[in-house]
Amino acid sequence: MGKKSQKPKIVLPPELPPDVPEEEIEVSDEDLQFLQENRDYAHCFSRLDTNSITKHVTRVADAKEDALEALYEKRLKKKTLLKEKEESGLRVDPVDALPVKTLDGKLYYRTLPKTSTLSENVEEDDDKDGSADKGIVKQTKAERRAKLKKQKRESKKQGKELDEAEEVQQTPQAAVLAEVKEDLTAEEAFKSKMQKLAELGMAILADPESNIKSLKEMLLISKDSDNAIVKLGVQSLLVVFKDIIPGYRIRLPTEKELEMKVSKTVKKTRYYESTLLSAYKAYLQKLIALEKKPAFHNVFVRCICTLLDAVPHFNFRESLLGVVVRNLGSSDDVVRKHCCATIKSLFTNEGKHGGEATVEAVRLIADHVKANNCQLHPDFVEVFLSLSFDDDLGRPEKPNEDNNRVKNKKNRKRKNLEKPNQLPESDKKKSRKQLMTKMREEVTADYKAVSFTPDVMERRRMQSETLSAVFETYFRILKHSIQQTVASHGENGNPVSGESGSHPLLAPCLKGLGKFSHQIDLDFMGDLMNYLKKLASGGSNPGNSQKKFNCFTVSERLQCCIVAFKVMKSNLDALNVDLQDFFVQLYNLILDYRPGRDLGGVLAEALKTMLCEDRQHDMLKAAAFVKRLATFSLCFGSAEAMAALVTSKHLLQKNVKCRNLLENDAGGGSVSGTIAKYQPYASDPNLSGALASVLWELDLLSKHYHPAVSTLASSISSMTSANNQVFLSTVSPQQAFLDLSLERESFTPQSHSMKLNNKRKRGSGSSTSAITDPAPDTDPIDEDKVRKKLSTHFMLLRDIKENERLRAELDRTTSYLQLYEEHKQQKKKSRKKTIQV
């Protein structure tokens, strides 16, 4: 405070260079040429404010001497006026009124008008004027008073102007200071709230019973207006609740229980549980309120899912389940995956909740599917695949040895009572035994209530409810898909406008039916098989060939056939259903398959389930499938061809008479069957007459570019009907498809495969090697060559795109130049017109 304020240093502008007459200035041609070519460089000088520059310059260029004198006189007058203003007023003491410092560094001291000194000076000036100029008429007292009044008014105006200038100078500085203070206070408040949350959370985790009131304080902090503080508060409360929530469901005491006298420990636990439950309820309400705000949606879902996964046994589980199930079909992939993972963990970890949460979640999903008319995301039904059911619970109970012993004892007692010599037991013994049995029953009931493992009857009840809800959902999806296809095509099979044929839940529904087919009740098997037949035929009746809607993809129809065969295998003893319609659909769907549109894995699974694993095959049907699969192998890639050839080899090994297709007789195959001519476009495999044809496709497939396909084709062609030994293949169509899929496929040159085929034909052991499964012998790929080819390819693509971009920019600039030239011409025309006028 005692230091004197330093005066600000005045920095004068630099002086102008010395004047040089224009005659002495010499400009070269190169300078002129440079200026003409680069006029844009001097474009910034046209925006300079010359008036503001000349104020700070002591010498002005291109100015006359009279103008310079007038300018100097104005500046001197301003200086004198400022000095007079300073001398006219009295400077106020800085203790009474602090001076004002502007942004330029100048200090302004407040002044007061000199009333007494002004009047004295005026009188003295008048006396002097009167003594000096005696010839001039003296002013009267009224004139003097008017003159003094005018001077006072002027001094007041000058003081007001100075105050206004000080206020104007103070406003920007005050605004900046206010902003800085707000920023500092916001940062300090944020840090203090963060520290408060950490302290409260640590205190609760250290001693929950004594510091349970701190939950309310944390809830108050989480209701802050700052979004960052809200997120921190919600996440910190999540950690606290996960740690302090007990392993049981809290039941609040009733009114009668509250009226009873209890000990201090019981009161303390009651207070702790009630406070915890009320805070937990307020926390869930806060989370549900944050769901409507998009900025907090991810945090809200993460907290809800974490709570449901960590404490599914605790109170308010229904509200948590409702939120998670509702977000299973969210448009956000992260939210949807998080909710699906939470539901799957509930289904797999039933020890945390005893299976009750599983039943509630399945029932909620079934209600959502029903309410939304099966138009939901596939994840709604795909989570059912994580369910696991105990097969022993569905079986009837076997009598235990203990029950048999008790029955034997009772029978012995009855026999003894019938004897006349022995007397019955006394009443005292009977009462003791009854008391003991009651006590045992109560103890067992309490143990079951406390333990996490529910009773067998309770588990059976929950499993039956879960299965009923799951299969109810599956049957609803099947029925809705068939009804939707009929509604979208009408009775005549023509498409109806306004009806959508989308069925997103059908694929996960078929997967679930295939997995849980052994749990389906036999009463619903007939309806299920009818639905599957309709879906496999494309949405129409299988017997009606005129109305075929084909509203489903090939993969979905193949999945229906797979599910039907799995249901038959799991209930083979109880069902007697003809699967000929499904074989007909598979026979027709083989040629409807498209690699880019349909899934090859589903086709391979259908070939394995329906043709390789089926024990009974008619000769005509097996020959038709062998011929159809050989034709299929010519049309598609190596992975599909490999799966088809493995299946055909399996069929030929099991059906010896079908090997006559490999013999080239004069009239076709040696066994023609009931149909003497091959019908390649027949829809039924039994009516195709495939035994009257020859597998000429194998000759072309033996020259396939892939060595594995060519090896397998040549091994199949070497099989004869004379060789009756059966060597079943260990490789399934699914495994063959996966081995040669696009991810694992390795390409080799064609010449290498031709050399391998020639060596096999010349070798002696070709018959034995043809029977075994093929192993694709491929050379390692030269990664450097592939990398160079790919780099040149992508460089070429990049150059093409860059060329297109440059051409577009060139066209744009040329169009702009043309417009500019037109604009210039229009300006010239307008100038000529104005000159003529």
Please write the tens of the pLDDT for every residue from 64-114.
Answer: 677 777 777 887 777 777 666 666 666 666 666 778 777 677 777 777 665
Comparing 150-154, 218-222, 480-484, which segment has the lowest mean pLDDT? 150-154
Average confidence score pLDDT of the chain: 75
Copy the structure tokens of residue 173: 């500085």
387, with CB counted inside 10 A (0-12, 13-18, 19+), is buried
- If 0-12 CB within 10 Å is exposed, 13-18 middle and 19+ buried, where does residue 471 land? buried
Q: Label residue 55 by pLDDT band (50, 70, 90).
A: low
- Tokens 């029953």 belong to residue: 441
Q: Which residue from 366, 377, 367, 313 is spatially nearest to 339, judged by alpha carbons?
A: 377
Q: Which helix (H) or strand (E) holds 100?
A: strand 100-101
Q: pLDDT at position 422, please?
A: 45
Has residue 518 got a pLDDT over 60? yes
Q: Strand 100-101 relative to strand 107-108: parallel, antiparallel, unpaired? A: antiparallel
Q: What integer pLDDT is reported at residue 500 of this predicted model?
A: 40
> What sections of 655-749 are H helices per DSSP?
697-701, 707-717, 733-739
**Pseudo-torsion of CA 536, 540, 545, 548, nearest 10°?**
-90
Model pLDDT for residues 411-467, shown as the tens digit of each residue: 554 544 444 444 445 566 667 777 888 888 877 776 665 554 557 788 888 888 999
The mean per-residue pLDDT over the stretch 184-201 comes to 83
- Lowest average pLDDT, out of 439-453, 687-701, 718-732, goes to 718-732
How confident is the model over 765-785, as a mean pLDDT?
A: 50
pTM for the structure as a whole: 0.61
Q: Count of residues for the chain?
A: 837
How much is the pLDDT for 341? 92
**Rg, Å, the chain Cα set:** 50
Give whole-number Cα distances, 30 to 20, 33, 45, 250, in Å.
Answer: 21, 5, 21, 96
* CA–CA distance, 787 with 795 (Å, rounded to integer): 12
**Four-residue CA torsion sign, 346, 350, 353, 357:** positive
Distance CA 753, CA 709 (A): 10
**Spans of all domains in the chain:** 209-325, 786-837
Cβ atoms of residues 275 and 250 within 8 Å? no
In which band, very low, low, confident or very high, does the pLDDT at 305 lie, cut at 50, 70 and 90?
A: very high
DSSP 527-554: HHHHHHHHHHTTSS-TT-SS-----S-H
Say how far apart CA 582 and CA 563 lie, in whole Å.
Answer: 11
The pLDDT, as a whole number, for residue 486 is: 62
Q: How many helices (H) and strands (E) does the chain have?
A: 31, 4
The owner of tokens 């039916």 is: 513
**pLDDT band (50, 70, 90) for residue 283:** very high
Please check the confidence at residue 807 and state whether its pLDDT lies above 60.
yes
With 0-12 CB in 10 A as exposed, 13-18 as middle and 19+ as buried, what is 784? exposed
User: Could you give phi then psi for residue 90, rounded to 5 degrees?
Assistant: -90, 130
**What does each C-alpha distance from 418 to 202, 388, 411, 414, 425 come to in angstroms?**
75, 53, 11, 6, 13
The Cα–Cα gap between 452 and 466 comes to 19
Q: List the one residue out of 528, 525, 533, 534 whose CA is nearest residue 484.
A: 534
